[in-house]
Amino acid sequence: MNHYQADQEILENDIYDYGLWDLNRILVGTGRSLADFPPMPLPQQQWAHRIPNPLLQAEQYDVDEMATLVDEQRAIFNPDQVTAFDAILESVTTIKVIFSSLMLLVVVGRHFCVTLLLLRLEEEVR
């Protein structure tokens, strides 16, 4: 089992395996697992004891530096890029709100309501 340090290269297989583990963790919370979806591969490592995410921890992100970089780069966007950037950001924010609302309904036991909402959203996309 790898325990990464900030200066170590993270192996692609470990990133893939952690993603499978995290996806399975989410599915288990809904009463399913990756095993319910053959031929989906299963995670090979046990990552539960390594929370928070060791792969992200090894990256040593500086949030303030990243925010400054975003502001600097956005300042040199042309008008079309600004419009696209803002639209994408708004969409992601909207999706987060919708997802949070759906998860709240699931938590309070309103699965039928969630199913109907998802069916309605699917109709809207068509």
Cβ atoms of 55 and 9 within 8 Å: the answer is no
Mean pLDDT throughout 9-22?
Answer: 79
Cβ atoms of 53 and 3 within 8 Å: the answer is no
pLDDT of residue 5: 54
Q: Is the pTM of this model over 0.85?
A: no
Give the DSSP H/E element, type plus range, for residue 96.
helix 79-107
pLDDT for 112 beyond 60: yes
pLDDT for 67 beyond 80: yes
Tokens 């995670």 — which residue? 43
